[in-house]
Amino acid sequence: MATYSLHLAHLYGDLLNTYGDVGNILALRYYANLMDADLTTKVISIEQSFDPDQFDLAFFGGGQDYEQMIVSKDIQTKKDGIVKFINDDKPMLAICGGYQLLGHYYIGADGEKIQGIGALDHYTLSQDHHRFIGDITIKNEQTGETYHGFENHNGKTYTGKSEQPLGVVVDGHGNNGEDHQEGAIYKQTYCSYFHGPILTRNGELAKRMLLKALHNKYPDADLSAQEALEIKPTF
Ligand code: GLN
């Protein structure tokens, strides 16, 4: 038994899970164990309620436009809970389709408007018969960390003023192929187009999320050993 325990909500894990995005949860569990924490997970999907107070972390993966349309309808009922979770400064990771649905809307590849929940201030347009596909490298200018991944998306996302990019594009396309930004950060919510999955190749981000979750849940604990955990590059 570990000293600490964390509970993660896997939003729509049965519908939005392309390109091994679920590997992000394996990475979180791996690093959680190194930090003396157990990580339990629960898929929260269609017609299931989401109680933000039951969870310390959340993960929301990517998917095809068809599944996104199904999720788009249901997620409106979970909007208040997700907004509360974000405003409570709890760490969440949203990838690709999940990233798009946290924003205002996504125009799908066939021109259909897929409504998001507007929890974050970005919107996503469509490309005409084109996708951004390939390896991508970005650098986060606040932390100096470099992240490596693989992108595959039709959407072109434009972030709002309250969001910081996850990184500046060093190589690849990023949010929209125009402004050299990739992903978004708002409070403790990290959004990205990286598959691959992002946390298996970029463990610093997994550590950051887990530390925040532990500090939130155990404000009086001495987490210096967890802070000191060294992350070895895995690419
Ligand atoms: N369907 C969305 C797009 O093509 C999201 C893709 C994904 O999650 N990989 O942009």
**What CATH number does the domain containing 193 carry?**
3.40.50.880
Task: Say whether 191 is catalytic.
Answer: no
**Residue 57: closest CA among 24, 79, 33, 80:** 24
Range of the domain at 104: 4-227
Whether 232 is covered by a domain: the verdict is: no
Whether 217 is covered by a domain: the verdict is: yes
Whether 220 is covered by a domain: the verdict is: yes
How many domains are contained in the chain?
1
Task: Give the separation between CA 171 and CA 189, rounded to whole angstroms.
Answer: 23
Dig out the tokens for 24 from the structure: 């992000």
CB-ligand 1 contact for 17 (6 Å cutoff): no
Residue nearest ligand 1's atom 8 by CA: 62
Q: Please report, for residues 1, 88, 147, 228, the alpha-carbon distance to residue 222 in angstroms, rounded to integers and kept in the order given.
A: 18, 22, 29, 12
Whether 154 is covered by a domain: the verdict is: yes
Q: Write b or e for each residue in 63-93: b if 16 or more Cβ atoms lie within 10 A of its Cβ, otherwise e.
A: bebebbebbbeebeebeebbbebbeeebbbb
**pLDDT tens per residue across all 235 residues of the chain:** 999 999 999 999 999 988 889 999 999 999 999 999 999 999 999 999 999 999 999 999 999 999 999 999 999 999 999 999 999 999 999 999 999 999 999 999 999 999 999 999 999 999 999 999 999 999 999 999 999 999 999 999 999 999 999 999 999 999 999 999 999 999 999 999 999 899 999 999 999 999 999 999 999 999 999 999 999 877 6
* Reported ipTM exceeds the 0.95 cut: no
By the 8 A CB rule, do 118 and 103 touch? yes
Please tell me the pTM assigned to this model. 0.97
**Residue 22: closest CA among 59, 72, 48:** 59
